[in-house]
Amino acid sequence: MKKVGFFQSIRLKLIITIILLLLFPIQIIGAYFSQQLEEQLFSNFKESIVKNTQYLNYQLEQAFAKERKEDGPTLQEDIQSILSELNFPEEITELQVINNKSRVIGTNNPLDQSIVGKRSTQARVNRTLLIGRADENVVFNKDTGDRTLVMTFPIFQQNNLEQKENIVGVIYLEATLEGVYEQLQDINQIFANGTFLGISISALLGIVIARTITKPITEMRKQAKIMGTGDFSQKVNVYGRDEIGQLAMSFNELNDKLKLSQATTEGERRKLSSVLANMTEGVIATDHRGTIILMNEPASRLIGKSFEKVQGQSLLDVLHIHDRLDDISEIQDTGSIIIDFSEGDQQLLLKASFSMVQYENEEMNGFITVLSDVTEQEKLERERREFVANVSHELRTPLTTMRSYLEALTDGAWEDKEIAPRFLDVTQNETERMIRLVNDLLQLSKMDNKDYRLNKEQVYFNKFFKHIIDRFEFNKEDHIQFVRNLPDEDVWVWADKDKMTQVMDNIISNAIKYSPEGGTITFTAEVKPTQQKLYIKISDEGMGIPKENTEKIFERFYRVDKARSRKLGGTGLGLAISREMIEAHEGNIWAESKEGEGTTILFTLPLMNDQRRDDE
């Protein structure tokens, strides 16, 4: 594990966090304080200016209202005298008195007396003369950077005749604000110095606090590295009863549990190794991609390859089953297959049973393959198939369908000239089909020897499947319901219609036999274009099959309930024949069942591609 640098450590993060927690409130308080202080200083400054101006305004009003004598001082002289006598604050840099004709009649600047008598061009002066209201504005000088407060105040004179006040002049003044902002800057500098001092002290405290917090965590990190090597003998120190102390105690408990778990796992691993080594069956384990990760010695002997040689290879390649399975994901639908590992005169048939390994969340983790030598079993199976050829002549019993049509004719349907010929035609066809079925049993041994030919043709499966279901529905008992789930699109397959009829007859007959009162038989056909396969499912609600027997029902002469099967007329050959037929069509057939809930027989057929159908 790479060592954590200081700039990546939690210690630095804690120090920065403490500084930021202090800095942000200080900055917010400082900004608010600076804003409020600026407003207060400006307000006080303006209030001081206004008070001085009010006194001046009063004297100017008296001067404007004073009666003038020929030998007495003029209005301009009185106003200039008033401005000279008053002691104005230093902040007021310019003060002018302007009459109602916008002419300057007095100024406090002795060096700029030349403007007296001239017309004022200030827009705010004219605005004050016009509306009779004081005006103010802060002007910023871009060249010098100085800020100046410019104010105008109206001078009123009482008109006794009209009983109203007339504007006789305006006071125009300019006051510099630099003193206010210099004072504000000094205060902000004091605040900034205090902030820097506070942050420096906080950083020192943060270093001490961070070291106190991170020391136990650093010890736990070192201990975790030691535990990663498999050493669980050491423990971390507990420095207190706070959250970090509780974490340290939990860490020590985890250390003890991991130590116990490792000992248990090691013991189980040894047991598993012993079991795998002493099993007669071969076991191969793969990951979710189908790559071999484990194999015991019996499996090595059966396939003739050591584990070191096949480790990391694909299970499909090692078992030579690429011709049956295109992808490892198809294994879960396969159940088990027989693999021929014969070489020359040495015959070796292996049965590969596949099971999927899942995580607790049911996500697929890999596959377990159990290999068994079934060479002798296959020999016995071949002998049993020969027996089927010998007893096939005894299986010429008419189908239930033919009996139903004959019973209908006996009950009076023969008198109906429209129905009777159709019933007789169906009866004749079913009789001929049963004869062909018996002949197929005789050819079953030829299928085992690969000496068998199917009469395949282009089959419109929708119509074909409906016809078979209609035939059974006409003859079914009233207590059984048929439900159809068939695709809307046209489905074409390349198949032998007689053999597929025999397969479906076997499956549907079993479903009818084992369906209870009020039961439902569901027929489903589903197209999977990505796999180029047609999935057919026939489900009943019968007594079901135990899970361990679902693979065996396709073996010849195998019956789950022998007494019940014989009572219903079963021979134990129907599903075995069906499997041979489906595999001859390059399909697969399997069963899904649960005791007490019914059984579903599923089989697949390859879809006919559009190009081949068009060529036909």
Whole-prediction pTM:
0.36
Task: Give residue 1's pLDDT.
Answer: 46
Does the pLDDT value for residue 523 go beyond 90? yes
Burial class (CB in 10 A: 0-12, 13-18, 19+), 512: buried
Does the pLDDT value for residue 538 go beyond 90? yes
What is the mean pLDDT of the segment spanning 110-114? Answer: 76
Task: Give residue 570's pLDDT.
Answer: 46
- Per CATH, the homologous superfamily of domain 10-183 is PAS domain (3.30.450.20)
470 alpha carbon, distance to own chain's centre: 47
Q: Angle formed by the axes of helices 243-278 and 178-228, to 10°?
A: 30
Task: Give residue 466's pLDDT.
Answer: 92
| Kind of pairing between the strands at 589-594 and 598-606 | antiparallel
Tokens standing for 63? 């001067």
Interatomic CA distance for residues 338 and 285, integer angstroms: 18
Res. 394 pLDDT band, cuts 50 70 90: very low
pLDDT tens digits along 165-197:
788 888 888 888 888 888 888 888 888 888 888
Query: Do 10-183 and 281-373 have matching folds?
Result: yes
Task: Give residue 383's pLDDT.
Answer: 61
pLDDT tens digits along 65-94:
777 676 667 777 778 878 777 777 778 888
Task: Give residue 373's pLDDT.
Answer: 82
Phi/psi class of residue 450: alpha, beta or left (left: φ > 0; alpha: ψ in -120 to 50)? left
Res. 560 pLDDT band, cuts 50 70 90: low
Interatomic CA distance for residues 444 and 580, integer angstroms: 8
Does the pLDDT value for residue 390 go beyond 60? no
CATH code of the region 281-373: 3.30.450.20
Closest CA to 282 of 292, 290, 291: 292
Residue ranges covered by each domain of the chain = 10-183, 230-278, 281-373, 380-615
Does the pLDDT value for residue 584 go beyond 50? yes
Task: Give residue 395's pLDDT.
Answer: 45
Interatomic CA distance for residues 339 and 321, integer angstroms: 8
What is the mean pLDDT of the segment spanning 246-265? Answer: 81
Interatomic CA distance for residues 514 and 537, integer angstroms: 16
Task: Give residue 601's pLDDT.
Answer: 92
Closest CA to 506 of 454, 431, 581, 446: 581
Half-sphere exposure of 122 (CA within 13 A, CB side): 26
- Tell me 548's DSSP state: G
Burial class (CB in 10 A: 0-12, 13-18, 19+), 175: buried
Does the pLDDT value for residue 318 go beyond 80? yes
Task: Give residue 55's pLDDT.
Answer: 82
pLDDT tens digits along 358-379:
766 667 778 888 888 888 787 7
Closest CA to 525 of 583, 455, 464, 592: 464
| Separation in Å, CA 155 to CA 68, 158, 165, 175, 378 | 18, 10, 9, 19, 128
User: Which SS3 state, helix, strand or coil, does residue 527 take?
Assistant: strand
Q: Residues near 350 by Cβ (< 8 Å), separated by ≥ 6?
A: 282, 302, 303, 338, 339, 341, 371, 372, 373, 374
What is the mean pLDDT of the segment spanning 124-137? Answer: 85
Of residues 344 and 50, the one with the higher pLDDT is 50
CATH code of the region 380-615: 3.30.565.10
